[in-house]
């Protein structure tokens, strides 16, 4: 049993700095959040054909997400059951089966051991040494998995996250996104939890991104102003899923795309054809979600982002543009917007990384408390339990941390 007192470290209005630096807590997180609970692996559009695969790192384990012979998708541990060698060294590719480079053992796309070289000296039934397969489920192409069967069902885990994923996918006139643009990977010398925290923190924009706001005319410029002029809201959707809802602050259709209906006429027409004018108009005004799905997926408006912990003091943020099936005329714009916002040379995330690393450095010097009280005096909760507050409030981070606490204490898993 864990000796770490998470109820002490995570309180209603403050959290302890050791949560970002303590090695024992990091190990505990790998075990409870990344090996025994649902985590995002990848999207079906990344592996379109039979035999297509991608590799991802979940905690310290490399996994393969592969489309098998019945078009079904499996997530398999990337480790030969013979002597533990890495089966796939590439980040993506296409294979008929997985052959270990060490002694030539051959595994099928479903992980079954098919053949052993020089079988005369091997007397076990092959099926005893099939590859380890993760518990896998998916929603609208978003594939999630767990090494151990989670006690919480996939539906209960996603909860309101389904509606957030729906909003992202429905930005496509065909209801489908396509992650074919490649992944930028940005290294952070900071704890992984600072990434989801920061990505739904509506309070830092005026400060961390001051240079961006001053240098460029963008939709974010509208959110810089006195406290009572900010119309966007922050939401805690439950289960650790959180959102900055920018829509109330938008002033015109397609503000979120930095475009107008005249400039992207065919996209507007195909959206109208699919969803009807009234619904399409609202979707094109409100835009995609800016929301984190606990623990490692970020629906980053027109991008998809993955958080990957690589140690108590380091993390990698993956980002790719969210291309819309049926709207390829937007691809070039989405590529350039993705590079502008996300990645090591971007106008935004480069500064977020430096600020996170400064926090990591400061927290490492001692074990202070971090305040988490902002907005407790003005939140509202609806009948579904969804909590909403001013865009700059820490409602989102409280949502993240209090769900984190329930998993780490074993009250949920």
Q: Which residues bind other proteins (CB under 8 A)?
A: 91, 180-189, 208, 210-212, 214-216, 310, 316, 319-321, 331-332, 335-336, 338-340, 343-347, 350-351, 353-355, 357-358, 360-361
Cα 152 to its chain centre, rounded Å, is 19
**Least Å from the CB of residue 61 to other proteins:** 17
**Least Å from the CB of residue 47 to other proteins:** 17
User: Which 3-state string (H, E, C) describes the chain?
Assistant: CCCCCHHHHECCCEEECHHHHCHHHHHHHHHHHHCCCCEEEEEHHHCCCCCEEEEEEECCEEEEEEECCCCCEEEEECCCCCCCCCCCCCCEEECCCEECCCCCCEECCCCCEEECCCHHHCCCCHHHHCCCECEEEEECCEEEEECCCCCCCHHHHHCCHHHHHHHHHCCCCCCCEECCCCCEEEEECCCCCHHHHHHCCCCCHHHHCHHHHHHCCCHHHHHCCCHHHCCCEEEEEECCEEEEECHHHCCCCCHHHCCCCCCCHHHHHHHHHHHCHHHHHHHHHHCCCEEEECCCEEEECCEEEEEEEEECCEEEEEEEECEECCCHHHHHHHHHHHHHHCCCCCCCHHHHHHHHHHHHHHHHCCCCEEECCCCCCCCEECCCCCEEEECCCCHHHHHHHHHHHHHHCCCCC
- Asked whether the beta carbons of 240 and 383 are under 8 A apart, the reply is no
Please classify residue 12 by burial: count the beta carbons closer than 10 Å to its beta carbon, then call 0-12 exposed, 13-18 middle and 19+ buried: exposed
**Least Å from the CB of residue 179 to other proteins:** 10
* Nearer to other proteins (CB atom), residue 182 or residue 225: 182
**Least Å from the CB of residue 342 to other proteins:** 9
**Least Å from the CB of residue 370 to other proteins:** 18
**Least Å from the CB of residue 209 to other proteins:** 9
* Nearer to other proteins (CB atom), residue 163 or residue 350: 350
* Nearer to other proteins (CB atom), residue 26 or residue 404: 26
* Nearer to other proteins (CB atom), residue 10 or residue 324: 324
* Nearer to other proteins (CB atom), residue 109 or residue 306: 306
**Least Å from the CB of residue 125 to other proteins:** 40
**Least Å from the CB of residue 40 to other proteins:** 18
* Nearer to other proteins (CB atom), residue 310 or residue 409: 310
* Nearer to other proteins (CB atom), residue 360 or residue 389: 360
* Nearer to other proteins (CB atom), residue 30 or residue 213: 213
* Nearer to other proteins (CB atom), residue 328 or residue 373: 328
**Least Å from the CB of residue 315 to other proteins:** 9
């Amino acid at each position: 049993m864990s000796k770490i007192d998470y109820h002490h470290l995570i309180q209603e209005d403050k959290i302890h700095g050791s949560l970002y630096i303590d090695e024992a807590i990091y190990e505990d997180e790998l075990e409870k959040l990344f090996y025994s609970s649902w985590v995002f692996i990848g999207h079906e559009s990344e592996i379109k054909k039979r035999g297509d695969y991608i590799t991802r790192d979940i905690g310290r384990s490399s996994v393969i997400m592969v489309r098998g012979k019945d078009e079904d998708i499996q997530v398999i541990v990337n480790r030969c059951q013979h002597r533990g060698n890495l089966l796939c060294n590439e980040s993506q590719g296409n294979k008929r089966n997985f052959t270990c480079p060490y002694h030539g053992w051959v595994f099928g796309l479903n992980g079954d051991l098919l053949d052993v070289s020089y079988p005369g000296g091997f007397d076990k039934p092959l099926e005893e040494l099939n590859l380890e397969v993760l518990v896998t489920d998916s929603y609208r192409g978003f594939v999630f998995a767990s090494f151990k069967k989670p006690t919480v069902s996939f539906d209960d885990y996603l909860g309101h996250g389904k509606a957030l994923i729906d909003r992202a996918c429905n930005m496509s006139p065909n209801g489908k996104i396509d992650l074919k643009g490649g992944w930028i990977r940005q290294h952070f010398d900071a704890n992984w939890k600072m990434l989801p925290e920061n990505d739904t923190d509506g309070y830092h924009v005026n400060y961390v991104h001051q240079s961006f706001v001053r240098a460029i005319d963008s939709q974010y410029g509208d959110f810089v102003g006195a406290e009572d002029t900010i119309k966007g809201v922050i939401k805690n959707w439950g289960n650790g899923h959180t959102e900055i809802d920018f829509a109330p602050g938008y002033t015109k259709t397609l503000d979120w795309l930095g475009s107008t209906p005249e400039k992207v006429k065919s996209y507007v027409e195909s959206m109208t054809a699919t969803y009807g004018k009234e619904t399409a108009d609202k979707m094109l005004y409100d835009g995609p979600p800016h929301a984190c799905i606990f623990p490692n997926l970020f629906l980053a408006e027109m991008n998809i982002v993955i958080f990957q912990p690589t140690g108590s003091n380091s993390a990698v943020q993956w980002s790719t543009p969210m291309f819309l099936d049926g709207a390829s005329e937007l691809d070039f714009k989405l590529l350039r917007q993705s590079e502008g916002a996300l990645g090591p040379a971007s106008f935004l995330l480069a500064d977020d990384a430096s600020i996170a690393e400064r926090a990591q450095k400061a927290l490492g010097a001692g074990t202070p408390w971090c305040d988490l009280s902002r907005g407790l005096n003005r939140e509202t909760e609806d009948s579904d339990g969804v909590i909403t507050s001013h865009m700059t409030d820490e409602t989102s981070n409280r949502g993240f941390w209090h769900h984190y606490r329930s998993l780490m204490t074993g009250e949920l898993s």
